[in-house]
């Protein structure tokens, strides 16, 4: 696990929940072409925004980014700052909406995520490799689609061929027992909850993972990343973890925004990881 020089004093300057509207207002609007509200399914929440860079990076995977919000709230339009940061590095980026509680419960948001990934690979990536990425509940979706291959298979996409790598930012991957009533309703009866945990499905054959977290995160404890990475390595897979001192739950994703990149080198770490050579098909492992 790699650590950086303490940033606690600087990170404390950022409010615990930065106004996304302010971040968006400070985000450049050039360097990419936006194709908004593209349908990947028939339902109102099954839409995505696609950001195509003006200067694509040769050989770069197309990134599908899932935002967080405790599976209860969120809007793709609030995450232009993440897409812009990656597009400026040459990546095509898709940011999907997905259905939320109380309209749906597990596994509907995984089914939506898989449908979005399948659409992006067919339509935007031209059959080329993808990188999945997410923050918080979105990191759960990205990682679950990576380690539990049944969701992408059901969407008609071979996960071994489609996903080159996955980035999880401040994600919940091993979060039982549940103590919040909404989460109990979202993830169903207690006897079935182990199957809802990404750590349960690790077999060592998944594409490589980069798991980022802040050591001051009290919403999703960093032990989630440590547990998942440890299980991946035990089973022969590849997982890299980076823990940012002084950063909380929101600050790890806020650090993508140009005015807040002093918080931590999150964008640089993601760019480096996505540029690593893919290890090949998981089916061959």
For residue range 96-122, what is the model confidence (pLDDT) as tens digits? Answer: 999 999 999 999 999 999 999 999 999
Q: Judge whether 144 and 198 are in contact, CB under 8 Å.
A: yes
**pLDDT, position 17:** 42
d(CA 120, CA 77): 18
Cα dihedral 56→58→60→61 (10° resolution): 80
pTM of the model: 0.92
For residue range 194-253, what is the model confidence (pLDDT) as tens digits? Answer: 999 999 999 988 999 999 999 999 999 999 999 999 999 999 999 999 999 999 999 999
Cα-flanking dihedrals φ and ψ of residue 44, to 5°? -55, -35
d(CA 197, CA 140): 9
Q: Judge whether 247 and 219 are in contact, CB under 8 Å.
A: no
List of domains in the chain: 2-284 (3.40.50.1820)
């Amino acid at each position: 696990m790699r650590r950086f020089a303490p940033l606690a004093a600087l990170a404390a300057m950022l409010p615990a929940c930065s106004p996304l509207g302010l971040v968006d207002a400070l985000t450049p609007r050039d360097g990419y072409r936006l194709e908004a509200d593209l349908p990947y399914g028939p339902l109102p929440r099954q839409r995505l925004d696609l950001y195509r860079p003006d200067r694509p990076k040769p050989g770069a995977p197309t990134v599908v980014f899932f935002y967080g919000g405790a599976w209860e709230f969120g809007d793709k339009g609030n995450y232009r700052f993440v897409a812009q940061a990656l597009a400026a590095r040459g990546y095509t980026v898709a940011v999907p909406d997905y259905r939320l509680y109380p309209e749906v419960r597990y596994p509907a948001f995984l089914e939506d995520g898989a449908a979005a990934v399948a659409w992006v690979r067919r339509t935007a990536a031209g059959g080329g490799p993808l990188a999945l990425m997410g923050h918080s509940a979105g990191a759960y979706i990205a990682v679950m689609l990576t380690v539990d291959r049944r969701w992408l298979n059901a969407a008609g996409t071979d996960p071994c061929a489609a996903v080159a790598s996955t980035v999880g930012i401040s994600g919940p991957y091993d979060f039982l027992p549940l103590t919040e009533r909404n989460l109990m309703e979202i993830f169903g009866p207690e006897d079935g909850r182990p199957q809802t945990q990404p750590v349960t499905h690790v077999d060592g054959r998944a594409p490589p993972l980069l798991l980022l977290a802040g050591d001051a995160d009290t919403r999703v404890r960093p032990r989630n990343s440590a547990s998942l990475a440890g299980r991946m390595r035990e089973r022969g897979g590849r997982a890299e973890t980076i823990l940012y001192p002084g950063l909380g739950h929101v600050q790890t994703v806020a650090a993508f925004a140009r005015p807040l990149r002093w918080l931590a080198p999150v964008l640089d770490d993601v760019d480096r990881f996505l540029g690593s050579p893919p290890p090949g098909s998981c089916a061959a492992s």
